[in-house]
Amino acid sequence: MTITITAFERSPDGGQGMARDMRVRWALEEVGQPYGVRLLSFKAMKEPAHLALHPFGQIPTYQEGDLALFESGAIVFHIAERHAGLLPDDANARARAITWMFAALNTVEPPIVDREVAEYLEDETWYEQRLPFIDERIRKRLGELSGRLGNADWLDGAFSAGDLLMVTVLRRLEGSGILEEYPNLSAYVARGKARPAYKRAFVAQLAVFTAAPTA
Ligand SMILES: N[C@@H](CCC(=O)N[C@@H](CS)C(=O)NCC(=O)O)C(=O)O
């Protein structure tokens, strides 16, 4: 059955992998599932046709036959449940990998997104006052994560959907200088980015913004 996901027609980062369709693309590449992409303008994202798929008017969405999903974590979980390669077979190891998926999105991503939101606001004084507090929260989480990862390649044995989400979440810190304070986390992100499936997903997302315009 054909899989179609949605993505930005014009992305704030110009296709550097920060938009959350990257997670879905990467998961689909890891499991070897072909997919199509429907690009949306910011206007179209808030119109009824898209709101019927995504109640919050965002990307990504995922359609496969009569199944329509939203939320990148739920979509990656769906892909991982349906196809081999992103969740271990052993029931306990699988439950732990799913736990890491939630940890990435519920525990590590929120303070990182707080930093991005603070950057959008134009009140410089407010930003400067708030940034140290936000960065302290991020460093607390990264310190804990770094301690848990230690010298391992991945969070719990083999690469899993938990690592896929965690790497995309940590990538959001690129350019802040914070990730580099944790060499094992920097190396972890680099390992994720070195995976052939990641590279294919990245190239595909970037191509949306670099492809020559059609006549
Ligand atoms: N929790 C959602 C967040 C979705 C989200 O924030 N999407 C962004 C792109 S990465 C978006 O659509 N932003 C435009 C908007 O919210 O209007 C998920 O993981 O899918």
Q: Is the CB of 71 under 6 A from ligand 1?
A: yes
Ligand 1 nearest atom to the CA of residue 58, by list position: 12
Side by side, the strands of the sheet bearing 61-64 are 36-40, 3-8, 61-64, 67-70
The domain defined by 91-195 folds into Glutathione S-transferase Yfyf (Class Pi); Chain A, domain 2 (1.20.1050)
State the distance from the centre of ligand 1 to the C-alpha of 196, rounded, in angstroms: 25
Residue nearest to atom 12 of ligand 1 (CA): 58
Q: Is the pLDDT of residue 173 over 60?
A: yes
pLDDT tens digits along 181-211: 999 999 999 999 999 999 999 999 999 999 7
Q: Is the CB of 205 under 6 A from ligand 1?
A: no
Distance between CA atoms of residues 19 and 11, nearest Å: 7
pLDDT, residue 213, reads 63
Given a contact cutoff of 8 angstroms between Cβ atoms, the answer to whether 180 and 27 are in contact is: no
Which of 72-76, 129-133, 198-202 shows the lowest per-residue confidence on average (mean pLDDT)? 129-133
Task: Give the CATH superfamily of 3-85+197-210.
Answer: Glutaredoxin (3.40.30.10)
Domain ranges within the chain, ordered by starting residue: 3-85+197-210, 91-195
- Written as one string, the DSSP assignment of 63-98 is EETTEEEESHHHHHHHHHHHSTTSS-SSHHHHHHHH
State the distance from the centre of ligand 1 to the C-alpha of 102, rounded, in angstroms: 17
| For range 55-76, the mean pLDDT | 98
Let me know if the fold of 3-85+197-210 is the same as that of 91-195. Answer: no
Question: Residue 212: which pLDDT band, with cuts at 50, 70 and 90?
Answer: low
pLDDT tens digits along 107-123: 999 999 999 988 887 77
| Helix or strand holding residue 148 (H, E) | helix 124-149
